[in-house]
Each structure stands twice: as C-alpha cells, then as structure tokens.
Amino acid sequence: MSRGFLLDSHVLLWLTPVTPRLSSQVLDQLSLAANGLFVSPASVAELCIKASLGKLALPFGQDEDAGEAFTQLLEELGIVSLDVTLAHASRLRDLPLHHRDPFDRLIVAQALAENLTLVTHDRTLGQYNGLSVLWA
C-alpha cells in the first residue's frame, strides 16, 4: 500500500490555479492522500531548467526568486518536498532504461524507494516494475 503520492513536475503545475488540468477523479484521489503529497527537488529543477530555456512559463512571475516562490507554492498546496537521498540516487543503478530523462528516472527511484504512488501523465513511466502510478 502506498504511503502517499509523488507528483511529476507537470502534475505540480497542473495543481496550480494558473494551469488547472487535472480531472476531478485525480483531484479526488489526491485529496484522500492521508499520508501526503510530495514533490522531488528534481522536478523543481526540471521546471526551472525548462523555464530558463523559454520552454515553459512558471506559475509565478519571472522576477520572483524561484526558490522562495516554489517554497510558498508548495506550502499553499500542502505539498512536502521529498529530499533526494543517497538511497534514492543509488537506486538509479538498478533501473532499466525505459526512460532516459534523468529527472524522470530519479523520481521513479524515489517513488519506488519510498513506496509512493507516482502521479504522472507520462505513460513511459508505467513500464517500471513495482511502480504504483496514478495517471493524470
């Protein structure tokens, strides 16, 4: 049984009032998360990199300090940052190369290590054995 949900980077954005894209069914599931909603710093890093390349608009002003803005956003949404540990990083060694994106691989490793359900729209991530997924 999962002890909570780990949100993929796009799901974090889809939870914001700026870009609401989650179905009522997914929102209902997330609201039942007695053990919490989590996001990886790897997801925040991915979003910041995409924003710096002009591929993405963050859900707050470009002039704001991204670290402070993300901290405030997570607090408002009731999401906890799941620190990356050595156990998470070392789990990458044993993951098959279903997905080559290092950010996605790291959040898969975190979800597996922490027994969290990964909330994602990326169907490729469903190929990892043992990974619990809630499709967004």
Q: Where are the domains of the chain?
A: 5-135
pLDDT 10s digits, 40-84: 999 999 999 999 999 998 888 777 888 999 999 999 999 999 999
Q: In terms of CATH, what superfamily is 5-135?
A: 5'-nuclease (3.40.50.1010)
Element spanning 37, H or E? strand 37-39
CB 38 within 8 A of CB 4: yes
Report the amino acid identity of residue 115: N
Average pLDDT, the chain: 91
* pTM for the full predicted model: 0.92
